[in-house]
Amino acid sequence: MTYLRTITDPVTKLGGVGPAATGSYAELGIHTQSELLLLAPRTWEDRSTVRPLGSVQDGQVANTLVEVLSHSYFGLKKGMKRTLKIIVRDVSGLGDGRLSLLCFGRNFLEKTIKPGRIYYLWAPVAIKGSEKQAVQFELHPATEDGDFPPQFGKILPVYPLRGSLTQRLIRANIRQVLTRCGAFINELPESLMKELDLLSTDEAIRAYHFPPNLQQLARARRTLAFTELFYLQLVARRKPRKKTAKPAIPGDLELRLIERLPFTLTNDQLAALKEIREDLGAEEPMNRLLQGDVGSGKTLIGWISALKIIAEGGQVAFMAPTELLARQHAESGA
């Protein structure tokens, strides 16, 4: 058994990871096998529900059984390479419909995908005119009795890609790590797990990448999110608080700025300053929104309030929505 974050073996030890894939993994910030296990999928493909060809709309995904009807080629223009087109029809029993599979760069499928045979199809569908088409698709032979093969019913992770990486390679690499490392040591107190209905670390990381169902996926995501927050809180509590008092700046900076203004602050501005001073002196952190029309002096009130903190030896981050405005504030504040 091992801890999830202590697998320091590099990804170069995994099958199919050469120099190109190593560089692509590095672009994702992945160098070790632990970092690979912590790679968050962008989404998950739910292949557990049949979605027949007759019901899928443009941009939706078909997930069904089909029969191959015919092969043909298109692209007869001069200089254009001919491309295989495979016509299939739905035989799931839950709907009908046909689909054209456009095999760009995959003309070799003519030899393996035979007319008259039944396949399990997964494909994002696009509608062009009156024809439903798919460019990206997966076909897996049906069982001997024409039923769904084991590939159906899975919920597959979809990872961010870089360079030469593919979904198939990342999934295979993660399976390798999960197989080699054995069980993971649980990282959360059992009392918390029972109270919050969380999974063990081992169950969570496996269900996160290859969930048996959507309910288990939700529990895995909740468990890993809570674990991350748990560690952040633990580190924050254990980290010694260094209170290094900085020397205060002599003189009342607020008053000096107010006296240099070519106008007198309004009663509303003075009232806002008074409330902010009281908040800054309280034990709880201030949570305040200063509202006012354009040109009403909101920025000035912010500057004056910041000077109080600076005069007491503190630091202030004065932020602006654009770089140009930030530069203007810096120049006017100086």
Q: How many degrees, rounded to 5, is the angle at CA 230 between CA 224 and CA 232?
A: 110
Kindly report the CA angle at 56 between 54 and 59, in degrees rounded to 5? 145
Question: CATH says 49-152 is which class?
Answer: mainly beta
- 128 three-state secondary structure: strand
Residue the block writes with tokens 């019913």: 153
Positive or negative torsion for Cα 50, 54, 55, 58? positive
Q: List Cβ neighbours of 245 (8 Å cut-off, separation of 6 or more).
A: 313
Q: Write down the pLDDT at residue 248.
A: 47
**Token pair for 253:** 């900076």
| In contact, 124 and 52? CB cutoff 8 Å | no
Joined together, the tokens standing for residue 47 give: 């292949």
Chunked in runs of 10, what are the mean pLDDT values of the chain (334 residues)? 87 95 95 95 92 94 96 77 94 92 94 95 94 95 90 91 93 95 90 93 96 94 93 79 53 78 87 87 81 84 84 82 82 73
Report the predicted TM-score, pTM, of the whole model to 2 decimal places.
0.63
Going from N- to C-terminal start, the domains of the chain cover 4-43+158-235, 49-152, 253-333
Between β-strands 155-158 and 43-46, what pairing exists: parallel, antiparallel or unpaired? antiparallel
CA 162 – CA 165 distance, rounded (Å): 6
